Amino acid sequence: MAYMKKELGLLTLLTLPFISSADWLDVNMPVGVTDISEEVFGLHMLMFWIMIAIGVVVFGVLFYAMWKYRRSNNKTAADFEENHKLEIAWTVVPTIILILMALPASSLLKKMYDHEAEEGGIDIQVIGWQWKWQYKYLDEKVGDKPLSFFSNLTTPSDQYETNQATKGENYLLEVDEEVVVPINTPIRFLITSNDVIHSWYMSDFAVKQDAIPGFINVAKTTINEPGVYRGNCTELCGERHAYMPVVVRAVKQDEYQDWLQSKKDAAEQVAFLTEKDWTLAELMEQGEEIYNTRCAACHQMNGAGIPGFYPALAGSDLVLYDKPKHIEILMEGVRGSQMQSFAEQLNEVEMASVITFTRQSWGNDRAGDGEIVIPKDIVEYKQKDS
Amino acid sequence: MRKAFVGLIAATLFMFAFSFMLVPLYNVFCEVTGLNGKIYGPSDFFKSEQEIRERNVNIRFLSQVNESAPVTFYPSSESLEVVTDKVSKTSYVARNNTNKTLTLTIVPSVSPGLAAEQVKKIQCFCFEEQILAPYEEQEWPIRFYVDSELRGNVNDIYLSYTLFENNRETSMVMHHDS
Amino acid sequence: MSAVVESHDHHHGPKKGLLRWLFTTNHKDIGTLYLWFSFLMFLTGGAMAMGIRAELFEPGLQLMDPIRYNQLVTMHGLIMIFGGVMPAFVGLANWLIPMQIGAPDMALPRMNNLSFWLLPAAFTILLSTAFMEGGMPGFGWTFYAPLSTNYPNIAYFVFAIHIMGISSIMGSINVIVTIMNMRAPGLSLMKMPLFVWSWLITAYLLIAVMPVLAGAVTMLLMDAYFGTSFFDAAGGGDPVLFQHIFWFFGHPEVYIMILPAFGITSHIISTFSRKPLFGHSSMVYAMVSIAVLSFVVWAHHMFTVGMPLVAELFFMWATMLIAIPTGVKVFNWVATIFKGSITYETPMLFAIAFVVLFTIGGFSGLMLAITPADFQYHDTYFVVAHFHYVLVPGAVFSIMAAVYYWLPKWTGNMYDEKMGKLHFWLSFIGVNVTFFPQHFVGLAGMPRRYADYALQFAEWNAVSSIGAFLFGLSQLLFLYIIVKAVMAGKKATPEVWDGARGLEWTVDSPAPYHTFEVPPKITEQTKL
């Protein structure tokens, strides 16, 4: 069949450049960095080789028969219709193989289901949001609340929306706040959701657990190697499902303690900064950074929004003339829409600076008064509320 | 032929009804297996002297406000060392941050799920809807005990409450220009 | 082969013009309508798949925003399942079941007409959302709550699903009543051809689970518009309950899409091996056990929702059990080929490819059943690769095999064998180039339903897209081959294939408008 060879050749030619540049390590499950993930990998490979062995036998017989009993080689067909011994054999043998597969799988599953707290372990609550993750360190306090932060994608939108910028090494797998955890420490992730169902997936730990509103799911892991590990959301959660990565940084115990201290210091610093006198330039600089990671995905870099989906901020009456309403929207969100409340997500300084930024960018400073929103405004808003 | 036809129509209708029967069946199933860590209705404390077996269990309390409902909601103490078969008390605080009256439902979840059956609540704000007047703050008590039937290897239980605002218009997908 | 059964044209033949198709109650006409409709849907869903693969050709958003992407993914799934594969099998059932059991028509011909014409209505409603504000559904064909309960235009989706469900149920009732009441004298159940058997089981499955799907969408609709809280945690409902109900329907549904394929493959392999099918009765028992098991494995789609250990273990073991009857079927096909006298015409090529590639899909299915490993595979492209292997070179290849195999009987004309083989090889290569690399990116951790992905997956996604375009374009060749055969094919003999067994080959080619008005006599000598 000459025409077929041509097709094959063409196809090889077309796909070759892609295949030859593929990293061959990227075609299998990662071994991972926890005892469990190593065992899962072992189980996966065991199953894989069993499948290969069965495939070789079954397809071997099939291809042999296809070749041997072709019409040109075998003019008359036999006409047997059953063979009881054979039929019993090919029912019993697979059953035995299945039992042999079920045994290690069941015992490993049992091990993975040990969710009990251990001495010296830490608990982190993981909350899925459309489309970001929130982490609460339940054993660490800032003031009277657990240490908490949001983890947002930082890949700039010009890398994926306009595709003008070159894609970075960790394209779509980079966040502003990584989850920092100590190695060799049992960590329990208590996973839940704020809105729809998400799923917290970190293949290096062999952890994938759905985040379901109203329910808590637990996953426990102990990381053996320091490093930065990257994962994803794996349950369709709406538009930006592909844009809410999971990034975990595993460090040695003393580094972890340093990081905790710095997070707590930073939280106290905010309290101090709220009292400081702010200039327009300072607020604009910080506001732009926050806008680009938190707001630009929907409202776009140029503040134009997406007509029919996300309202424009540039030239918006509300942004131009109604400062109290503007603050209220960021603090409370807009009901019946995707605009969330950012009251928990941004501190007073961040909130003030991003509002200032939107009120002074893209020609929104039309009033020319250079009016800024300062952290104190936000504090006052909060006080008025309670 | 007619009989077969009628029979098949009946089977179809039965399966449609069956899909709705799955709802209560599932709840029973959850209750039996502790699936999802669901907890049901109030329990009473009936324990005779002989039945009481005491050991310490650590309970940690979590709170979660769904979809940024305008409510501040937190446990008044984050963890409690309790003794099995003894009634304990704690509370949650909730504050309405709006000038409207809010109706709220609070959904409990226990982890590990299999311990859900042993966390018995005598009094809980999760049994009924809660109403908060504008800017009102309330303290909501819980009285509960952990049954000593609790499996021996469980020493540490999470009790989580998620607060939902009722009848709230939401769209998780599209943005209606406001 | 026994004498050709005379066709009595003493009463009316087909009407002329469009009205023939609108009001027809003839099983052959309705079968034709179903097949053309499913082909149209196959091309529509395929065009959406091309859109998806074009967007995934390289990282970044080039052609559409993620909202549109999610809509395409959702509609591709819905259209291929409910518009492509299922109607194609119903079309084959309409054409073949009466001819294979020696019946003059389906038992309920007017209902048959209605059950077809509901389908275009349902898909018009579903597709009309494309022109509405808010657009098509974008929550995946599995429409998990609470993502779906808050979607715009959900009422159109629910209504369309209801109509499709009613259509399927009416079709199934028709199939069961026909098979139970209209078999030719002497055709006992255990003698029945396997395609008829596979459809009998499928029809029972449909009657058992389509109403459950209807229940699920009804609850969804009530949650969205009537203030109930079946799946809303705020009102005491449970989003996980939705998944249980959905997959209680969903798992039998995947067997609904594969059992008729088993029947078709059995006929074709036996014909071109010129040998009776090996283990006819064990094939029947295997299908029955697969169907029964399909009701107790649903939660293997939900291993990561946080079920207790005992539930996970139960569903893992039950799922693994399915490998046994499925294995028996594959072994039976291999044994049928063994010591045959085999020729490789296009239907046989598709049928053999079905056996091999379906088995590969079975292997990945068995791996997915292993819960600890499933925590890694779940919702990645490994799953996408798995179910496309069982659905495309599985269900779809079997439908193509069936079309090539029975087309001469339907039209009286042979297709172009050379072109048919070309179509096979292009499809075979296209399918494997498309879906095999998806195993790799899945294992490496690429989640499914992603509009955009990390750079490490770029190469294999590009390969997969090229394969998809090849596969997609070669289906235009399929269309050309069919049209050419209908318009100007070589005349076919009544028997068509020299090893063919079964009553349908005893009538003329093309099959007369009315066949078996006098039931044939089934004796020990009748080759079935």
Phi, psi of C59 (to 5 degrees): -60, 155
Across B69-125, the runs of DSSP E, i.e. the strands, are: 71-75, 79-83, 88-96, 102-111, 119-123
What residues pair up with A207 in beta bridges, in sequence order?
A: A202
User: CB B172 to CB A195 under 8 A?
Assistant: yes
| Residue with more model confidence, A372 or C154 | C154
Instruction: Out of C53, C183, C275, C329, pick the active-site residue.
Output: C329
pLDDT-based confidence at residue A365 (cuts at 50, 70, 90):
confident
Q: pTM, whole model, 2 decimals?
A: 0.88
Kindly state whether residues A135 and A257 are assigned to the same domain. yes
Closest residue in C to B109 (Cα) is: C233
- Asked whether residue A321 is domain-assigned, the answer is yes
How far apart (Å, rounded) are the C-alpha atoms in residues A150 and A176?
Answer: 8
Number of structural domains chain A divides into: 3
Query: What is the pLDDT at residue B55?
Result: 85
Residue A52 clears pLDDT 90, i.e. is over it: yes
Q: A231 Cβ partners below 8 Å, 6+ apart?
A: A200, A201, A202, A203, A204, A245, A246, A247, A248, C445
**Pairing relation of β-strands B56-65 and B156-165?**
parallel
Tell me the shortest Cα–Cα distance from C410 to chain A, in angstroms.
Answer: 27
Mean pLDDT of the B68-91 span: 86
CB neighbourhood size of C44 (10 A): 18
DSSP H or E run through C368:
helix C346-369
Of C507, C503, C508, nearest in space to C528 by CA: C503
- Asked whether residue A16 is domain-assigned, the answer is no
Burial of B9 (0-12, 13-18, 19+ CB in 10 A): middle
Positive/negative CA dihedral, C427, C433, C439, C445: negative
- Coil, strand or helix at B70: coil
Kindly state whether residues A97 and A156 are assigned to the same domain. no
Query: What is the pLDDT at residue A111?
Result: 92
Residue type, A73: N
ipTM, two decimals? 0.91
Annotation marks residue C141 as catalytic: yes
Cis peptide before A131 (omega within 30 of 0): yes
How far apart (Å, rounded) are the C-alpha atoms in residues B53 and B50?
Answer: 8
Q: What is the CATH number of domain B36-165?
A: 2.60.370.10
What is the CATH number for A66?
1.10.287.90
Query: What is the pLDDT at residue A386?
Result: 47
What residues pair up with C270 in beta bridges, in sequence order?
A: none
Query: What is the pLDDT at residue C3?
Result: 42
Phi, psi of C390 (to 5 degrees): -85, -20
Per-residue pLDDT of chain C (528 residues; tens, 9 = 90+): 344 444 444 456 777 778 888 999 999 999 999 999 999 999 999 999 999 999 999 999 999 999 999 999 999 999 999 999 999 999 999 999 999 999 999 999 999 999 999 999 999 999 999 998 888 999 999 999 889 988 888 999 999 999 999 999 999 999 999 999 999 998 999 999 999 999 999 999 999 999 999 999 999 999 888 888 888 877 778 889 999 999 999 999 999 999 999 999 999 999 999 999 999 999 999 999 999 999 999 999 999 998 888 889 999 999 999 999 999 999 999 999 999 999 999 999 999 999 999 999 999 999 999 999 999 999 999 999 999 999 999 999 999 999 999 999 999 999 999 999 999 999 999 999 999 999 999 999 999 999 999 999 999 999 999 999 999 999 999 999 999 999 988 999 988 998 888 999 999 989 999 999 999 988 877 777
What is the DSSP track for C409-463? Answer: HHHSB---HHHHHHHHHHHHHHHHHHHHHHHHHHHTTPBSS-SS--GGGHHHHHH
Query: What is the pLDDT at residue B148?
Result: 82
pLDDT-based confidence at residue B167 (cuts at 50, 70, 90):
low
Query: What is the pLDDT at residue C243?
Result: 94
**Which two three-digit tokens encode residue C456?**
């490490």
Q: Is C306 on the interface with B (CB under 8 A)?
A: yes
Q: Is the distance from CB of B76 to CB of B90 less than 8 angstroms?
A: yes
Of C443, C308, C295, nearest in space to C368 by CA: C443
Query: What is the pLDDT at residue B173?
Result: 39
How far apart (Å, rounded) are the C-alpha atoms in residues A246 and A230?
Answer: 6
User: CB B34 to CB C173 under 8 A?
Assistant: no
What residues pair up with A310 in beta bridges, in sequence order?
A: A306
Nearest to A215 among B36, B68, B169 (CB): B36
What is the CATH number for A155?
2.60.40.420
Query: What is the pLDDT at residue A165?
Result: 85
Of the residues A225, A243, A267, the one at which a domain ends: A267
Residue type, B135: Y
Tell me the shortest Cα–Cα distance from C440 to chain A, in angstroms.
Answer: 4
Residue A264 clears pLDDT 70, i.e. is over it: yes
Of C145, B119, B62, nearest in space to A212 by CA: C145
**Which two three-digit tokens encode residue C490?**
């070589």
Distances B143 to A143, A205, B120, B122 between C-alpha atoms, Å: 27, 38, 9, 5
Query: What is the pLDDT at residue A369?
Result: 60
Counting DSSP H helices and E strands in chain B, the numbers are 1, 9
Kindly state whether residues A259 and A143 are assigned to the same domain. yes
How far apart (Å, rounded) are the C-alpha atoms in residues B109 and B111?
Answer: 7
Burial of A192 (0-12, 13-18, 19+ CB in 10 A): buried
Using an 8 Å CB-CB cutoff, list chain C residues near A207. 375
Q: Which strand ranges, in their side-by-side order, compose the sheet holding A132-142? A: A145-151, A132-142, A122-129, A186-193, A217-222
Nearest to A218 among B60, B64, B112 (CB): B112
Kindly state whether residues A237 and A145 are assigned to the same domain. yes
Kindly state whether residues A133 and A261 are assigned to the same domain. yes
Chain A neighbours, 3+ Cβ pairs < 8 A: B, C
C30-506 CATH choice from 1.10.3720.10, 3.90.1150.10, 1.20.210.10, 3.40.50.1950? 1.20.210.10
Q: What count of residues does chain A have?
A: 386
Residue type, C430: G
What is the DSSP track for A214-248? Answer: T--EEEEEEB-S-EEEEEEE-S--STTGGG--EEE
Mean pLDDT of the A93-101 span: 94
The torsion of the CA quartet A337, A339, A341, A347, rounded to 10 degrees, works out to 180
How far apart (Å, rounded) are the C-alpha atoms in residues C125 and A171?
Answer: 39
Of B162, B159, B168, B93, nearest in space to B132 by CA: B93
Provide the residue ranges of all domains of chain B, joining segments of one domain with +.
1-33, 36-165
Q: What count of residues does chain B have?
A: 178
Q: Which residues of A244-268 are buried (b: 16+ CB within 10 A; e: fewer)?
A: bbbbbbbbeeeebeebbeebeeebe
Per mean pLDDT, which range of A67-81, A253-267, B42-56, C443-457 is the poorest? B42-56
How far apart (Å, rounded) are the C-alpha atoms in residues A192 and A209?
Answer: 9
Residue B77 clears pLDDT 50, i.e. is over it: yes
How far apart (Å, rounded) are the C-alpha atoms in residues B68 and A341?
Answer: 6
Kindly state whether residues A263 and A290 are assigned to the same domain. no
Residue A161 clears pLDDT 90, i.e. is over it: no
Q: Which residues of C246-277 are buried (b: 16+ CB within 10 A; e: fewer)?
A: bbbbbbbbbbbbbbbbbbbbbbbbbbbbbbbb
Q: Is the distance from CB of A193 to CB of A128 less than 8 angstroms?
A: yes
Chain B neighbours, 3+ Cβ pairs < 8 A: A, C
Tell me the shortest Cα–Cα distance from C135 to chain B, in angstroms.
Answer: 10
Using an 8 Å CB-CB cutoff, list chain C residues near A51. 363-364, 366-367
Please give the residue range of the domain that contains residue A366. 276-385
Per mean pLDDT, which range of B13-17, B33-37, C78-82 is the poorest? B33-37
Mean pLDDT of the A10-35 span: 68
CB neighbourhood size of B76 (10 A): 12
Round the average pLDDT of chain A to a whole number and report it: 86
Of C512, C481, C507, C483, nearest in space to C493 by CA: C507
Query: What is the pLDDT at residue A158?
Result: 85
CB neighbourhood size of A272 (10 A): 9
Nearest to C371 among A26, A105, A238 (CB): A105
Kindly state whether residues A225 and A148 are assigned to the same domain. yes
How far apart (Å, rounded) are the C-alpha atoms in residues A160 and A171?
Answer: 9
- Coil, strand or helix at B119: strand
Q: Is the distance from CB of A152 to CB of A132 less than 8 angstroms?
A: yes
**Pairing relation of β-strands A122-129 and A186-193?**
parallel
Distance of CA A42 to the CA centre of its chain: 25
| Residue with more model confidence, A250 or B84 | A250
pLDDT-based confidence at residue B114 (cuts at 50, 70, 90):
confident
Nearest to B171 among A116, A214, A336 (CB): A336
Residue A277 clears pLDDT 90, i.e. is over it: no
Kindly state whether residues A141 and A162 are assigned to the same domain. yes
C455: left (phi over 0), alpha (psi -120 to 50) or beta: alpha
How far apart (Å, rounded) are the C-alpha atoms in residues C100 and C520?
Answer: 11
Using an 8 Å CB-CB cutoff, list chain C residues near B4. 176-177, 180-181
- Asked whether residue A303 is domain-assigned, the answer is yes
Mean pLDDT of the A78-93 span: 91
How far apart (Å, rounded) are the C-alpha atoms in residues C306 and C309?
Answer: 9
| Residue with more model confidence, A307 or A215 | A215
Residue ranges in chain B assigned as alpha helix (H): 2-33
Helix axes C239-256, C280-293, angle to 10 degrees: 170
Q: Which strand ranges, in their side-by-side order, compose the sheet holding A227-233? A: A179-182, A246-251, A227-233, A198-202, A207-211
Give the distance between the most distant pair of CA atoms in chain C.
70
Residue A4 clears pLDDT 80, i.e. is over it: no
Annotation marks residue C167 as catalytic: yes
Annotation marks residue C168 as catalytic: yes
Kindly state whether residues A92 and A146 are assigned to the same domain. no
Q: Is C209 on the interface with B (CB under 8 A)?
A: yes
Annotation marks residue C409 as catalytic: no
